[in-house]
Chain A
């Protein structure tokens, strides 16, 4: 039976390719099928040069009366390459349409189970293809591939440590103290993107000054996803597009679709890249002279300096630590293929990257198997599965209060300090600091290791297919499960671990996290077509998501001998943190498409969650949109200058959950001399707390000229976030320092422009250019609590301040000209605008592509310089260009400002970068001749780079930095980070 069917289809396929048979009359009829043998419904069939046309029915059949013969029929459909077929006589003409390479670019998600042609979309949804993501150069991590490629995203790297640690923020400030990172969904699976602390605070004491935030800078877990597996990414930037995702969607949704197999011959693809990474920018050493050393460090140091200078033993320790070249190897192999019924894609990849600091690195292995099975014509299953192992060694950096991190230790290190190990590998104690950074680098382990399993499955069932309507059921389930182990080992040999130096005699911090998310959903989709070409699409469904995370962090101090197990220790402490959440909801949506002229959508999502004050009350998130394709009204001739003129408007609402724990006022458990005790945590919860609600209105236009060779898109949005959840400060005399309240409103207004053009295209040469430009302005429009400072390290050093009528990310501090609130405004973390320029040039078999990214404006709080100033080691200590009176060197000037003005610590963090560049040469099979029996389809060789050119006027390694990770909008704070790096890679890719 099955065999029969198969042969019959093959026969049909064969027939389609035969020259046409001769029949009478002008009627042409036939069936349209795809290359994989499926019938293709709703294909536009048009007699070329006329308005005479029809569409194929649900079974792919069509029939058209030609006005003249001979003539040409044009078959076009979303996701397929347009076919033009000359016809001279009336006949049965069966057509096979090839799936278009850009197919995925042309649809955008509008429902939980449906998508819509881009030309009909009412939202500015950005899409990135595999080529966009990895075509120029393999990105270090998935989120690292998003820089500059579409309008509306601010991507920021928190640290230069290998293995990621990035934040992605869509369309400005979406929350002040709640989640600001988008929801990631891969093949229907809700992805966890946590950054789990490795517990380094036990040694660094970074939070000892009262900064509650995690300053460990761990990897965020989106880094686990292999960019090479991805077929396309869609970015729903705000509530107007993302309302269908309801209460998790306020920060936007990034929808990732992985590659899937195609029926036919098995295709293999192998690629290997090797290269290196090196620091973008090192600061250098202060220009020491004997007199300067004498003035700053005294007589003894001056003598040491002169001796070292005479002996040639001055050491540039910055270069010693950050000057390494890290070796990078990336290997990818995938195969895909299958039959008409069952298709598969299987991929394996292995990354091994060293950092620019010895003993740092990142290793990842990813295995993927995607299966599609068509059990019946009306029943389809697909499965995506992904196993990932990753291990990252991130070194010991960022802020501390103990002088132990490598960065802080470097600030106290002078070129004449003898820190190098002797022949036996023993390091001398640092004469001027509590730790020897070379020893720390070589002996400290800070590793996190993940085993992760992501699975998603979908079942599509066509209940009913009629003449002009059909009903489909979609069931979907997803599971994201991982175990993460972190190991931070500080052996007792370290200078700062020796008891004689006040050390803890060895510290071992080991964390174990088990995370399990799963989500289930079921939808019914009903399509109805009227004879006058109006399409009604109705969908309704249920959703359910559960999240469960359990972290145990064990801190052991006073290690036995050289043991690292946590039981081999004098003191052991355990912290367990559990996070559980359950959400349930429903979704309903109606789309009406009037002849592709008007496309209107209304929908609603209802969600309830265990994280809300009332777990079983629904929050409702409506949406509505309208797109008008003026070019479909027949004002312009087919093939004229205007190929698209669309006006669009969309409105939607979405939510953002209160942080877990916001509902509770609780004690923490502690001890005193072995006696247990519970003391208030200092945060007052609110049992009535609501989700934040984002309301976004966006409108814009999409214009196309010269048949798609020039496209322009403009979007303006107003995004209001109400019921802002604030951890508002309480008078500390209440016994609490903060409380969770719904107390404010925030507004973002922004413009996004993009332009794509193909100025030149001919057989030998093609040039594509894409430009995107966007800006966003945020403002706190209502604040029901007293204005308060937040983030960073207090007003003396510059801090963020939440105040009605001001930008959400304004930076204030003490200063000579304070406003009525007592603070002077020194800057704003929000950039004035950002811009990306993407060029692809192809000349014969050579491809050159490069991406420039420009961030203009936006300020950082840079404290690295100050810490070096206090130790007299700043590279610009003696340069005079800050002091308005031209008297003091930069170092003394910055120190003199301490306590009187924070201005000097707030710096412009603009940059221009050549983000990605790639040059490739492709050898096609005909050029390869009979190499390996002609089995090779193509070979691609090339070289590429990331962050190759960087321009900025910022007094540190890189303006892109965040001491506090990516969890909030208050991130541009720098304290002795891991410097950023650039990468160079050589590639070899073989398709066979």
Chain B
């Protein structure tokens, strides 16, 4: 009996030790926490954080380009599993743009995510003494790069909401600035870019991190400054400030050459599992499950022999659109050409490139120096296998020609809708179905509040 009691007491003692008084607190077991970078930011940390900017600036980019490309009547986006590409975006029947649907909420949130990623890094740089890890020039260079990205990302959102405006003061998540008008937003964006340019100018010879291959040629503070200026030139053009466009272009990587159209900075894509594949790629002959089909007027309005449309027969290259083996129909839209600007899932997408700069140069000179403008437009025409411009040289005619060249040069790169909008020509866009509408801007996302 006594033996039994000892056994029991032993059992109880064992049981007692299993009940600890305190429970263990766990940190996030799966991901790095934001707060961890507020102290002892290392060079390795900064590389990862800047790498995050490169990543997040590409998230939902496909939706952004589809928004611009579909409303701008460059192409139709077919998706048998999501009807809203062909209803809402084209204004089919009674459809209007919704303020809580993926086509605005997703790209909008993704751009602000990048802005937040950048603002957090700027906060880490401000909140601690980094002298042991980084030189002042390196810190300035980092700031310059981040401010440039903030300006560019904000611009993409403004491109969607236009007169509805955007928030530009978003550094403090608990105390957001107001939604400002388009004019104010463009001014704020330009200020971010200008501040970034100043920091880049003081940024020394090297960034304290590595950039992806899309930034080759622009991966030092001084060369990246030229890309900053290029983006600033685009912003100034949207502001209608043509003098500033010319000034910014002077400091950018503009090269007035018909054979150097693609120099610039690019988003890279890969099939790596943690990376993003090019969202603008669909194979030739794609089905309604997912396809980008040329709006027929792109071909109908093209000048004969335009390499950009029909390809270069001498070099045996494809144009930006390729005829399908069989036509394709969805939701009352029938097309026969695939958009084929990006030939693979690993193709890069330009952030800004020299072809646009030449066209901006032309645009900025239409009123002040029409001869320069025509010369620049002819560079573009030459590159497309077209004869030099022979039309009228008044500003209106040159503007027509400039917009036309932009239409073909920057096809499916998210420009057409914005270009016709800023020149008040949305009503010139073709309607494929009688009930369709051309929308001028997206509503502010529902969850943005006031």
Contact = CB atoms under 8 A, between A and B. Distances in A.
Given A557-B271, A584-B20, A681 B329 contact: no
Interface centre among B47, B80, B269, B445, by most A CB within 10 Å? B80
B29 A578 contact: yes
Interface string A826-844: 0000000000000000000
Interface centre among A435, A557, A729, A732, by most B CB within 10 Å? A732
A310 B270 CA distance: 48
Contacts, number: 314
B220 to A, nearest CB: 17
Interface centre among A379, A500, A674, A789, by most B CB within 10 Å? A674
Nearest to A463: B8
Interface stretch (A50-58, A326-334, A352-360, A398-406): A398-406
B447 A729 contact: yes
B322 to A, nearest CB: 14
A590 interface: no
A932 to B, nearest CB: 45
A731 B448 contact: yes
A788 B22 CA distance: 38
B273 A557 contact: yes
Interface in B38-54: 47-54
A577 interface: yes
Given A501-B283, A675-B54, A677-B48, A571 B272 contact: yes
Given A571-B272, A675-B212, A680-B116, A665 B33 contact: yes
A475 B447 contact: no
A556 B115 CA distance: 32
A424 interface: no
A544 B19 contact: yes
Interface stretch (A136-144, A865-873, A879-887): A865-873
B94 A899 contact: yes
A580 interface: yes
Contacts of B269: 673
B30 interface: yes
A814 to B, nearest CB: 7
A661 B289 contact: no
Contact of B331 (A402, A681, A870): A870
A672 B212 contact: yes
Interface in B365-422: none
Nearest to B97: A899
B158 to A, nearest CB: 12
A234 to B, nearest CB: 26
B289 A520 contact: no
Contacts of B100: 789, 794-795
A573 B272 contact: yes
Contacts of B272: 571, 573, 671, 674
A671 B287 contact: no
A733 interface: yes
B73 interface: no
A670 B59 CA distance: 11
Interface centre among A572, A672, A871, by most B CB within 10 Å? A672
A528 interface: no
Interface string B98-126: 10111001101100111111011000000
Given A520-B15, A899-B88, A730 B173 contact: yes
Contacts of A578: 29-30
Contacts of A399: 81
Contact of B15 (A522, A732, A814): A522
A432 interface: yes
Contact of A677 (B4, B55, B113): B55
Interface in A784-811: 786, 788-789, 794-796
A733 B31 contact: no
Contacts of A900: 93-96
A667 B19 contact: no
A676 interface: yes
A671 B274 contact: yes
Contacts of A433: 80, 287-289
Contacts of B51: 670-672, 675-678
Interface in A655-694: 661, 663-682, 684
B290 interface: yes
Interface stretch (A343-351, A531-539, A607-615): A607-615
Contacts of B119: 735
Contact of A895 (B27, B271, B331): B331
Given A412-B288, A665-B34, A666-B31, A376 B4 contact: yes
B170 interface: yes
B84 A898 contact: yes
Contact of B274 (A501, A573, A664, A898): A573
A584 B23 contact: yes
B48 A500 contact: no
A666 B173 contact: no
Contacts of B8: 379, 461
Interface centre among A300, A400, A789, A900, by most B CB within 10 Å? A900
A459 interface: yes
B384 to A, nearest CB: 28
A434 B289 contact: yes
A contact residues, range? 35 or more
A502 B334 contact: no
A735 B170 contact: yes
B98 A796 contact: yes
Nearest to A376: B4
B447 A731 contact: yes
B282 interface: yes
Contacts of B56: 670, 677, 679-680
Interface string A739-777: 000000000000000000000000000000000000000
Interface centre among A298, A522, A570, A678, by most B CB within 10 Å? A678
A520 B288 contact: no
B25 interface: yes
Nearest to A211: B102
Given A578-B30, A676-B48, A729-B447, A412 B55 contact: no
Interface in A53-104: none
A921 interface: no
B329 A609 contact: no
A664 B52 contact: no
B255 interface: no
B271 A898 contact: no
A411 B80 contact: yes
B52 A794 contact: no
A670 B48 CA distance: 9
B326 interface: yes
A680 B34 contact: yes
A297 interface: yes
A461 B10 CA distance: 13
B327 interface: yes
A522 B8 CA distance: 14
Contact of B170 (A210, A671, A680, A734): A734
Interface string A384-406: 00000000000000011111100
28 contacts: A209-B106, A403-B288, A411-B80, A431-B326, A433-B289, A434-B289, A501-B286, A502-B281, A504-B271, A571-B273, A579-B29, A616-B23, A666-B32, A667-B34, A671-B275, A674-B275, A680-B113, A681-B31, A732-B108, A789-B100, A789-B446, A867-B80, A870-B80, A870-B330, A895-B87, A896-B93, A898-B88, A900-B96
Given A431-B287, A616-B22, A737-B447, 19 more contacts: A209-B102, A209-B106, A376-B4, A433-B289, A435-B289, A520-B18, A558-B271, A571-B272, A573-B272, A578-B30, A584-B21, A665-B35, A731-B176, A733-B167, A735-B173, A786-B449, A898-B88, A899-B96, A900-B95
Interface of A: 202, 209-210, 297-298, 300, 376, 379, 399-404, 408, 411-412, 430-435, 459, 461, 473, 475, 500-502, 504, 520, 522, 542, 544, 555-558, 570-574, 576-584, 608-610, 615-616, 661, 663-682, 684, 729-737, 786, 788-789, 794-796, 814, 866-867, 870-871, 895-896, 898-900
Closest 4 CB pairs of A and B: A573-B273, A735-B116, A403-B289, A899-B95
